[in-house]
Amino acid sequence: MCPPRFLLLLFLFLIVHEAEAYTVTGLQASYSNGQIFLTWTNPSASNLQYNVYRSATPFSSSADFTSDKRLGFVRDHSAKNVHWSHLAETDVYYRITDGGTPLASTQGLYVTTCINNTSYYYAVTVTELANNTEHKTVVPGQNCLTNPIAGVKTHPKPVFQQTVNTKNGEVKHHYVFFVDNQATDQFPALCNVGSYGFNFWYVKRGSATSYPLFLQFEGSSSGSADKKLSLDTSWTNCYIIGLFDWLPTPNSDGSIGISNYNFGWHENFNIYSNTNPIPTSGIVRTYAQQLYREILEWAETNLPIDNKKVYARGSSSNGYGALLMANIYSEKIAAVYGIVEPNSVSSGTSIYKQMWGEVSTKLKTDVVAFDNGDTLTYPDLKDQQRMVHRNEQRSMPPIYDIHGKNDVTVPWNSGRIRWFDSLELNRIGGVRYWDQRDHGNNGKNFLDSETEPNYYRFATNKGYPAFSNCSIDHNPGDGNPSNGEPYGAINGYLDWKDSTDKDCKFWVRVFIKDFYVGGVLHPQQYTTCTADLTLRRFNKFKPVAGMTLKWSNTDVNGVKIQKGTISNYDGKLITLPNLIINKTGNLIKIKIQNCPYRFGEDDEEDDAPLTKSVVTCVPMADGYKLFIHAALAEKATLQLVDLSGRIGHRQWLDLSEGMNEVKVVAPAGGLYLVRLTAESFTHCQKLFF
């Protein structure tokens, strides 16, 4: 029998132990746009972690909190928008309905993406981080739902928070995209540890039916929450979206908030810790870039955006973010402008080794290479010089940028010349400038208006010329800031207008323009030069491998001064070398030989209506491709007949007006006669297989 004193001590121990068992209360759940929103009241303590569980059956005991049911976790102040609070310099709490009431400071928040259309029970436990003790008490109706909540797997949407008036009179519409570690075929996992809310904003300018969109990479952007909008006022009749680069990771000085360079982080990196192990395996995931893509696609769906005119802009590390997005999602970006941006990032410091691993480890990312279909390694993807090489044959946007020879943050001698050379060698369009500025743009020679591109001329469905090897480029030097010209540009004297992109031809007018520095005409101007011209981003003009192409260069007087033939076109970028370009202008045209559309010698003639059908047979590796330019929509029969008169292949076609493509493969090698018979025309031709 236990003595009374021992029983009293045991009773007091149990009371104290129970008092220290932290649990949340008032757990509630709601569904909206493909996500479940969980809120609760936190215990009055700090340095806690809140773990969320999901189950198809009710939680009845601590044994139900198994690892397979655990979704993820959040930390203290999960209802607080910590990043926006830093920006606004006051406490800001999330709203979980569009423009709704902010959550209370005592509440917790976890948002999870629905992976199916099933109803689930949810529960929240508390872990003391000081001793890593998880309290798994089950209190139905308090930390566990007593009834399941139904969800629907669909594409989530960001939640509108509030409008903010800026000092210059514009209105920012502030949104939060709540993401977590649950991936579906409609929405990626965008935060590996669990739930987190990422901020972005948009501004609308002017009035239009369909608006161009600027993606402004903002970084952590102190002061951008409300008070200012340091954006180019020349951007008119457009939408502007501010994209942030911020994680709630602690710094060594105790402050909160680091950059991930608009990139992402390793799948095992804990965004709430700066003492993660350096990974030696696993995947570096492009969470940030995928988030930006989701924001872009939301804007294209919910705002009157012209999705062919999306432009990316940023300065310093945010310019790097714009470059990275252009290389990962090339087909979505119409043009890029970077200001004193690095073209690579380093994992040299401890936190970035934790985030990305050692460069020598060459961890894989989740991005597939365009050139060979392999998964890119982190060292490949982080280096935009390598990326433009891999993406040479891709539908790349033009890249404009400006660097300073007195920049010590992104030093001139740390690879600017190699970056310029890479853009030239891989025939990436745009202009590259340099002057005497430092990283803060102090001491600059060029006006902003002289280096920033004319964005609206570019669209993802509109062809443009990419210049390279221009004979009148300025000399940037060998990488030493004192070497070469103090300011200048690559392709800075060249310009173009009036490109025409049609089924059988592409033409563009090119010319030498006046070159200004600081609003003053540069003392060296030119009347003629030579340059290579690469045609990029065709829309209708899409020659295929095996075709013969003709090109010409005509001066302002209508005199054809250069011409050439590209026989057996290889299907890659078309570069016309060593073109003569004059200040008075030149018309560069290229056409597909024997194309049925008339290509007038006056160079201004529109395509004549197609009055007869024409068939062109182009040899392929395993047969032929027939390009059938039909004058009208009709039915046709295609036959292959061998030398003995036997039909080796028959195919019935529904031709549409205009271009049709048909692949033909013979049953055996040898000589065949192809017969194409339609109501309005016939075509016979010998083909050797």
Q: Spell out the domain ranges in the chain.
A: 22-150, 614-688
Q: Which residues contact 467 (CB under 8 A, 6 or more apart)?
A: 429, 491, 494, 531, 532, 533, 534
The pLDDT > 70 percentage for the chain reads 92
Crossing angle of helices 317-328 and 287-302, rounded to 10°: 70
What local confidence, expressed as pLDDT, does residue 643 receive?
A: 80
> CB 373: neighbour CB atoms within 10 A?
7
pLDDT band at residue 596 using 50, 70 and 90 as cut-offs:
low
* DSSP strands (E only) in 129-225: 133-135, 149-150, 159-165, 171-179, 196-205, 211-219
Q: What's the number of CA atoms in the CB half-sphere (13 Å) around residue 238?
A: 20
Asked whether the predicted pLDDT for residue 273 surpasses 70, the reply is yes
What's the average model confidence in pLDDT over 455-481? 95
pLDDT band at residue 232 using 50, 70 and 90 as cut-offs:
low
pLDDT band at residue 226 using 50, 70 and 90 as cut-offs:
low
pLDDT band at residue 607 using 50, 70 and 90 as cut-offs:
very low
- CA separation for the pair 374, 378 (Å, rounded): 13
Q: Which two tokens stand for residue 379?
A: 């060292």
- CA separation for the pair 629, 608 (Å, rounded): 13
- The residues with which 658 forms a beta bridge, in sequence order, are 630
Helix or strand or coil: residue 221?
coil
Q: Which two tokens stand for residue 543?
A: 């020659």
Tokens 């295609």 belong to which residue? 638
**pLDDT tens digit sequence for 246-256:** 999 999 888 99
What's the average model confidence in pLDDT over 179-190? 97
What local confidence, expressed as pLDDT, does residue 34 receive?
A: 97
Residue 282 gets the label, from left (phi > 0), alpha (psi -120 to 50) or beta, of left
Return the CATH architecture of domain 614-688. Answer: Sandwich (2.60)
Q: Which helix (H) or strand (E) holds 309?
A: strand 305-315
Longest dimension (CA), the chain: 117
In the chain, % helix, strand, coil (3-state, to 5) comes to 15, 40, 45
- The residues with which 650 forms a beta bridge, in sequence order, are 639
Q: Among 119, 176, 192, 184, which Cα is nearest to 155's? A: 184
pLDDT band at residue 169 using 50, 70 and 90 as cut-offs:
confident
Tokens 């002057």 belong to which residue? 435
Average pLDDT of the chain is: 91
Q: Are 676 and 665 in contact (CB under 8 A)?
A: no
The pLDDT > 90 percentage for the chain reads 76
Q: Buried b vs exposed e over 293-319: b needs ≥16 C-beta within 10 Å?
A: bbbbebbeeeeebbbebbbbbbbbbbb
> CB 407: neighbour CB atoms within 10 A?
23
Residue 113's φ and ψ, nearest 5 degrees, are -80, 135
Q: What's the number of CA atoms in the CB half-sphere (13 Å) around residue 399?
A: 35
Sign of CA dihedral 303, 307, 313, 314: positive
Q: Which helix (H) or strand (E) holds 580?
A: strand 574-582
**pLDDT tens digit sequence for 324-357:** 999 999 999 999 999 999 999 987 789 999 999 9
Q: Which two tokens stand for residue 658?
A: 């205009």
Model pTM score: 0.86
Cα→Cα distances 63→60, 138, 194, Å: 8, 10, 22
What local confidence, expressed as pLDDT, does residue 624 receive?
A: 82
How does DSSP classify residue 2?
-
- Which has the minimum average pLDDT: 66-80, 302-316, 459-473, 665-679? 665-679
Higher pLDDT, 34 or 11: 34
- Which has the minimum average pLDDT: 34-38, 127-131, 427-431, 558-562? 558-562
- Which has the minimum average pLDDT: 235-249, 402-416, 661-675? 661-675
> CB 389: neighbour CB atoms within 10 A?
16
Burial class of residue 167 (count of CB atoms within 10 Å of its CB; 0-12, 13-18, 19+): exposed
What local confidence, expressed as pLDDT, does residue 225 receive?
A: 52
Asked whether the predicted pLDDT for residue 207 surpasses 80, the reply is yes
Q: Which residues contact 38 (CB under 8 A, 6 or more apart)?
A: 27, 28, 29, 52, 109, 110, 111, 112, 122, 124
Strands 623-630, 516-517: pairing is: unpaired
- CA separation for the pair 590, 549 (Å, rounded): 7
Q: Are 378 and 363 in contact (CB under 8 A)?
A: yes
Asked whether the predicted pLDDT for residue 230 surpasses 60, the reply is no
Asked whether the predicted pLDDT for residue 601 surpasses 60, the reply is no
- CA separation for the pair 355, 451 (Å, rounded): 34
Helix or strand or coil: residue 86?
helix
- CA separation for the pair 536, 662 (Å, rounded): 26
Asked whether the predicted pLDDT for residue 599 surpasses 80, the reply is no
Q: Which residues contact 81 (CB under 8 A, 6 or more apart)?
A: 92, 93, 94, 161, 176, 197, 199
pLDDT band at residue 10 using 50, 70 and 90 as cut-offs:
very low
Higher pLDDT, 569 or 222: 569
**pLDDT tens digit sequence for 129-144:** 999 999 999 999 999 9
Return the CATH architecture of domain 22-150. Answer: Sandwich (2.60)
